[in-house]
Amino acid sequence: MKKNIIIVLVSILALSCSDFLQESDPNRIELPDYFQNENDVLRAVNSIYLAIRSGSCLGEGSTMYTEERSDNMGRIDNQSNAGEPFQFTDFSLLPSNTYLKTHWTALFTAITRCNFVLSYIDDVQFEDNATREMYRAEALFVRALVYLHAVRKWGDLPLITTYLLNPDEVVSNTFREKKEKVYEQIINDLTESLKADQLPNLQPLTGKGRACKAAINALLGEAYLTMATTLADNRQTNLEQAKKYLTDAYAMRQFGELKEIPYEDVFDVDKKNTCEEIIFQIRYIQGNVNYSSSMARGNQPRGENVNSLNNSTGNGTYINLDIVKEYEDDDLRKDFSVRYSPNAASTWYMTKFRDTSPAAGTLGYGGNDWILIRYAHVILMLAEVHMYLGENDVAIGYLDQARERAGLPRYAAMQADADYTSKYPTLKLAILHERRVELAFENHRWFDLLRFFTTEELQTYIHSKVQTDYGISNIRNFGPKDIYYPIPFDENKLNPEKMYQNEGY
């Protein structure tokens, strides 16, 4: 029975008190007694990775919560599923949106599984204490990763760091903590996880999809960079810390510059385990009906076969024409990432994730991993940090790594290009542009917009878009309230004071 711990866990994951109003099962094992040996801990750690794999959490299907919120992707159908998916891209999101609540629950499911491991791991006898510390580090890393996603989407959040055993504990812990405290916990978790000596700098083939020190450093750098650009206090200190940890992550790479790794190799399903640019990914199993990736077939419109052998009958993913126009002439990333088709929802569709192998077959059971952290992301964050610190020459050096791999002239040469300088008159906007085309459709764009612009600047930026390039989503709907998601309706209703609603909802 103890092997079925995940079933037990799922029944008590959400924060709402109503989720606990169930009769207890007299036959189930009490959770504090679950861990009998270190293999039980390993299974529980594996369940943490399984939780973030969900598309409702951080897996490949989570583009609804980030890319569709940005100017990269959207929906051409505003009626399907009661129009709820469309609300994300139309900036008309309601607290009652069921996809919003599903995302909230999935994130706290992962957090709860992390807390379960962290609460009871010290009760287990390990042959080697270094193994215990490695498992602890993995749980801390994932908890920080999930909270970093959540705090940028909701702001103030319930900050849960222990495993809650009963409804009374849930009630006492269900309140929104200030976002500054959430960031503090993220930093503490990641700093602590770096202490695990057994955790490798980069995972070998057998450990792909698990935490490593390069990923922890990269996430620390991103957290500090986000704090520096979105919080009121300690900007300079946070920038210096971001520089330190991003530099540490960069130093752990096993290659020289980005140009040594062809762009298409990063997304090649046959090289996903060996590509030196990938730091942390969510694993999918090619050909497996339950654990395969659907990115290739799901983004392919009818009549096309670039992504998958699957004979799609749909329209493909809606790609905003705005991002297609963002690519410069001769940018190698454009031909790899997007393609024109008269059968696509927007005449352009995403080709960045492909698997036409016989193993994936005509059913399209692809083997694409979902990449959460790769070195281009780290390198362009380093460009951003150095730019903020006034170290422009260093920033440009990192920026040029991405441009050179893409077959484009260096930044200095582009200063003679009137079209380029009119679109990107500052180094800051040039870095934002490079991040957009380099990391397109990888769930970074919305967070980039929140970092690069104040609320007022972002409203001006979004409203300056050409409406016809943004589909049927009304860009004029965007306002200050859309910086954050609303708190799900039932969470707010159960305790309007402690689970107060975000402004504007």
Residue 381's nearest CA partner among 248, 495, 290 is: 248
The whole-number pLDDT of residue 31 equals 57
Confidence of residue 20 (pLDDT cuts 50, 70, 90): very low
Does 1 score more than 50 pLDDT?
no
Work out the percent of the chain whose per-residue pLDDT is above 70: 94
pLDDT tens digits along 141-173:
999 999 999 999 999 999 999 999 889 999 999
Helix or strand or coil: residue 278? Answer: strand
Type of residue numbered 60? E
DSSP-derived secondary structure for 306-351: SSBSS---S---EE-HHHHHHSPTT-HHHHHHEEE-TTSTTSEEE-
Helix or strand or coil: residue 208? Answer: coil
Domain ranges of the chain: 1-198+453-499
The whole-number pLDDT of residue 440 equals 98
Q: What is the 8-class DSSP label of residue 6?
A: H
What is the average pLDDT across 124-143? 97
More reliable by pLDDT, 143 or 22: 143
Type of residue numbered 399? L
Q: Cα–Cα distance between 190 and 138 in angstroms, integer?
A: 10
pLDDT tens digits along 198-242:
999 999 999 999 999 999 999 999 999 999 999 999 999 999 999
Confidence of residue 30 (pLDDT cuts 50, 70, 90): low
Confidence of residue 315 (pLDDT cuts 50, 70, 90): confident
HEC profile of 430-484 = HHHHHHHHHCCCCCCHHHHHHHHCCHHHHHHHHHCCCHHHHCCCCHHHCCHHHHC
pTM of the model: 0.93
Query: Domain 1-198+453-499 has what CATH class?
Result: mainly alpha
Does 17 score more than 50 pLDDT?
no
Residue 450's nearest CA partner among 177, 100, 86, 71 is: 71
